[in-house]
Amino acid sequence: MAQFEAVVPPFGTTGTARKKRRIFTARSIPLYLMILPAMVLTIMFQYIPIPGRLIAFMDFRTTGFQGWVGFEHFRFLFNTAYFWNAFRNTWRFIFLGYLFVFPAPIIFALLLNEIKFKPFKKAVQTLTVLPHFINWVVVSTIFMGILSPRFGYVNDLIRALGGQPVFFLSLPDLFPWLLTFLRIWKGVGYSAIIYLAALSGVDAELYESAVIDGAGRIRQTLAVTLPALAPTILVLFVLSFSDVFAGLFEPVLMLKNPMINATAEILDTYIYEVGLERRRYGLGAAAGLFKAAISMSLLLTVNWVSKRFSSERRGIF
């Protein structure tokens, strides 16, 4: 949380030492009542389900608890090729996410920042932010349409150039790249807003002195622009975790088809299919524990990295 505490105007700091001693005072009780709804909802939907993770060790049917089975479900998972396939693919998408989806808006913002012609800059920005507001149901349909081998726009283009039509959504090797492209397509403009805001705050004098020191354009970017962006990049590196990892479920579920299961099945879809569709709650929960472990270790890692590289040795928490 250090990051959140970083820029703290002195709000409510007067006379803290004395007031802090007692918990319930005439002033604090109404304030606690105001936070109560958020506490109740968070406990209901974030904390109470946590013990439900133990379903991974139970024989749990639609009728309820049938007894403990120990590591039975895990043994089953370890011997299932489908599970390992989903496990591998999840990691592949995480790597592609950090390698391409995360840096794309930074590069995009840097390039857009070089444009001096305001109307063009504004038009590009408006167009690129737009897909963020279109939900995955529609985005996937649009792309299934334009990638369709019969009527799709892309294949019309290929035919016009004299090539053979390609059934893009049936190629397992292509799918990870296709999804990465779609995630960038949908998110790049929106994520760039914040970098552009940070860029507009860079002091012009810094560039002047860099030029006086004989720095060229590239050197200016490396020595002035990137250091100015660094704090934002580090914070978003941690916050983008939810986009990179949690945000996978919907698009994959929408675009997945039996022809590309080899690369499209991820832990989320596996849990959903095994756990909810086939009602094998225990197996689903066991795979869910795996997912939670990946998610937690990933979050702690990115936070650690962020801490390691920030000048104030601060992560998000």
Partner 1 sequence: MSLKIDTTGHRVFRVFNGLFLLLVALTMLVPILSVFRDSIDFQPRSTLRLALIPREPTLFYYRRVINDASIYRPFLNSILITAIGTTLSLFVNSMAAYTMSRRDIRGNVFFVYFLVIIPMVVGGGGIIANFVWFRALGILNTYAVMILPMVASGFYMIIVRTFYWSIPYSLTESAQLDGASEFEIYRTIIAPLSKAVYAAIALFAGVAYWNNWLHAFMFVHNPRLFPFPVKLRAMLFLTQDAERLLQEWALQQGLNLQEVMVTFEGTSSAIVMVSIIPILLIYPYLQRYFAQGVRIGAIKG
Q: Of residues 291-310, which lie at the interface with partner 1 (CB under 8 A)? A: 291-292, 295-296, 299-300
Contact flag: residue 9 with partner 1 (CB under 8 A)? yes
Contact flag: residue 97 with partner 1 (CB under 8 A)? no
Task: Name the H helices within 52-169.
Answer: 72-78, 81-96, 104-113, 118-129, 136-146, 153-160
Q: Provide the 10 A C-beta neighbour count for residue 30.
A: 8
Q: Of residues 145-204, which lie at the interface with partner 1 (CB under 8 A)? A: 145-146, 150-151, 153, 156-157, 159-160, 185, 188-190, 193-194, 197-200, 202, 204
Of residues 237, 219, 203, 196, the one with CA closest to residue 103: 237
- Which range in 10-18, 69-77, 93-101, 170-178 contacts partner 1 by CB under 8 A? 10-18
Q: How far apart are the C-alpha atoms of 309 and 311, rounded to whole Å? A: 6
- Which range in 80-88, 91-99, 228-236, 305-313 contacts partner 1 by CB under 8 A? 228-236
Among 103, 208, 259, 312, binds partner 1 (CB under 8 A): 208
Contact flag: residue 226 with partner 1 (CB under 8 A)? no
| Number of amino acids touching partner 1 (CB under 8 A) | 121
Contact flag: residue 57 with partner 1 (CB under 8 A)? no
Range 270-300 burial, b when 16+ CB lie within 10 A, else e: bbbbbbeeeebbbbbbbbbbbbeebbeebbe
Contact flag: residue 112 with partner 1 (CB under 8 A)? yes
Among 66, 126, 170, 257, binds partner 1 (CB under 8 A): 126
**Contact in structure between 246 and 67 (CB atoms under 8 Å):** no
Helix axes 104-113, 175-200, angle to 10 degrees: 50
The separation between CA 71 and the C-alpha centre of its own chain, rounded to angstroms, equals 31
Contact flag: residue 114 with partner 1 (CB under 8 A)? yes
Of residues 196, 226, 227, the one with CA closest to residue 115: 196
Pick the closer one to partner 1 by CB: 89 or 280.
280
Pick the closer one to partner 1 by CB: 99 or 134.
134
Q: How far apart are the C-alpha atoms of 90 and 12, rounded to whole Å? A: 45
Among 55, 77, 169, 302, binds partner 1 (CB under 8 A): 55
Among 113, 180, 263, 310, binds partner 1 (CB under 8 A): 113
Site of tokens 């860079």? 202
